[in-house]
Structure 1
Amino acid sequence: MRFSCRPVDVSFFDTAPLRFKNVVELNASPARVFSIFEDGEAWPQWFRAIRKVAWTSNKPYGVGTTRTAWLAPVTLDEHFFRWEQDRRCSFYVTGQSMPMAHALAEDYLLEDSTPGNTRFTYSVALEPRLMVTMGGPISRMYFDSMFKSACKNLQSYVLKA
């Protein structure tokens, strides 16, 4: 069974009931980091909550691209509404295997910092459904921990890749 999510735009990152933002420095160029984001097989190696990522659109990727991500508790169908090659991409979830959110979006921003390094800003916006709302502060801590861990693991992954 699939549960729908509503489409959102960039304003959702400022208005969503739950918002998360993490900023980390990565020892790689923005182009290198973006290539990691485009590699479906790389995601489970640094974003440990993800078991598998499959692009459901053909290359070249851009606005309108779709993919599916399998996480331990839920599968998410994603639609990219912003795509700036080697700089930024954003998606919203169109469907999910569990009734977790009415709306969910993620933004990946890569900015040059020092030569050869990138400042990565990872933003997540969520309008929870009852299941997540009932978790209260525990739900918030769970999501916050997952997103922080992903950023920390990405720092390690770019050093090995």
Structure 2
Amino acid sequence: MARRLRPVQLDFLGTAPVRLVHTALVAAPPRAVYRALAEEVADTPRWFTAVTAARPIAGGAGRSVRLRGGVVFHERVLAAEAGERYAYRVEETNAAGMTAMLEEWRLSPDPVGTRVRWTMALDGPGPFRLVMRVRRAGVGRSFREAMRNLDRRLGAAPQP
């Protein structure tokens, strides 16, 4: 790992200099979506193609995630509310420029299944902030593709 990031808390979701917020509908119920996000961490690359490897660490209190291109995040879970919310901050990374990062997945029931809202809250120097704002559309495409893949994956097996 290259370096430690600033240890932000959940309020950073509202104060971060860069916030990327994306939403999608998934046909599965919130509990099934939550399970895929928070409990089946190692399966994440099967539906989120930007992720090449993921595994729980610290007895499930964190995650280690590798992205395409070799970026690695070591994360600490800050909120785990079954069927409703999953949030974590990046504690260590090899990504250039980033000084703080927190992600939140909010799940809410919808007549067709689950409304998923993904917020990525970031900070870094000016050039980093600009690059992340420019990448907003690409991050959104990656998220929507992941949600379509997750929708297909969860629809393939019966959910309890």
TM over 0.5, yes or no?
Answer: yes
Cα distance in 1 for partners of 2:127, 2:45 equals 25
Letter of the aligned partner of 1:97 in structure 2?
N
Letter of the aligned partner of 1:18 in structure 2?
V
**Structure 1 runs of 4+ with >4 Å offset:** none
Q: Higher mean Cα deviation, 126-135 or 39-48?
A: 126-135
> Would the aligned equivalents of 1:91 and 1:107 in 2 still touch at CA under 8 Å?
yes
Cα distance in 2 for partners of 1:148, 1:130 equals 27
Letter of the aligned partner of 2:45 in structure 1?
P
Displacement after TM superposition at 1:52 (Å): 0.7
Indicate yes or no: 2:90 matched with 1:93: yes
Counterpart residue number, 1:78: 75
Cα distance in 2 for partners of 1:29, 1:23 equals 15
User: Out of 112, 118, 122, which is 1:126 matched to?
Assistant: 122
Indicate yes or no: 2:7 matched with 1:7: yes
**Superposed CA offset, 1:76-135 (max 9, x none):** 0000111112221110000002324100110011111127x1111111111135673464
> Would the aligned equivalents of 2:26 and 2:148 in 1 still touch at CA under 8 Å?
no
Displacement after TM superposition at 1:30 (Å): 1.1
Letter of the aligned partner of 1:122 in structure 2?
W
User: Out of 107, 110, 116, which is 1:113 matched to?
Assistant: 110
> Would the aligned equivalents of 2:17 and 2:129 in 1 still touch at CA under 8 Å?
no
Counterpart residue number, 1:16: 16
Structure 1: 5+ residue stretches without partners:
none
Q: What's the % identity of the aligned pairs?
A: 24
> Would the aligned equivalents of 2:101 and 2:122 in 1 still touch at CA under 8 Å?
yes
Counterpart residue number, 2:156: 160
> Would the aligned equivalents of 1:132 and 1:139 in 2 still touch at CA under 8 Å?
no
> Would the aligned equivalents of 2:18 and 2:129 in 1 still touch at CA under 8 Å?
no
SS in 2 for 1:36: helix
Counterpart residue number, 2:53: 52
Two-structure CA RMSD over aligned residues (Å): 2.2
Letter of the aligned partner of 2:51 in structure 1?
I
Cα distance in 2 for partners of 1:134, 1:94 equals 22
Cα distance in 2 for partners of 1:121, 1:137 equals 18
Displacement after TM superposition at 1:137 (Å): 5.3
Flag the 1:137–1:121 CA change in 2: closer, same or farther, 3 A.
closer
SS in 2 for 1:99: coil
Equivalent pairs, count: 155
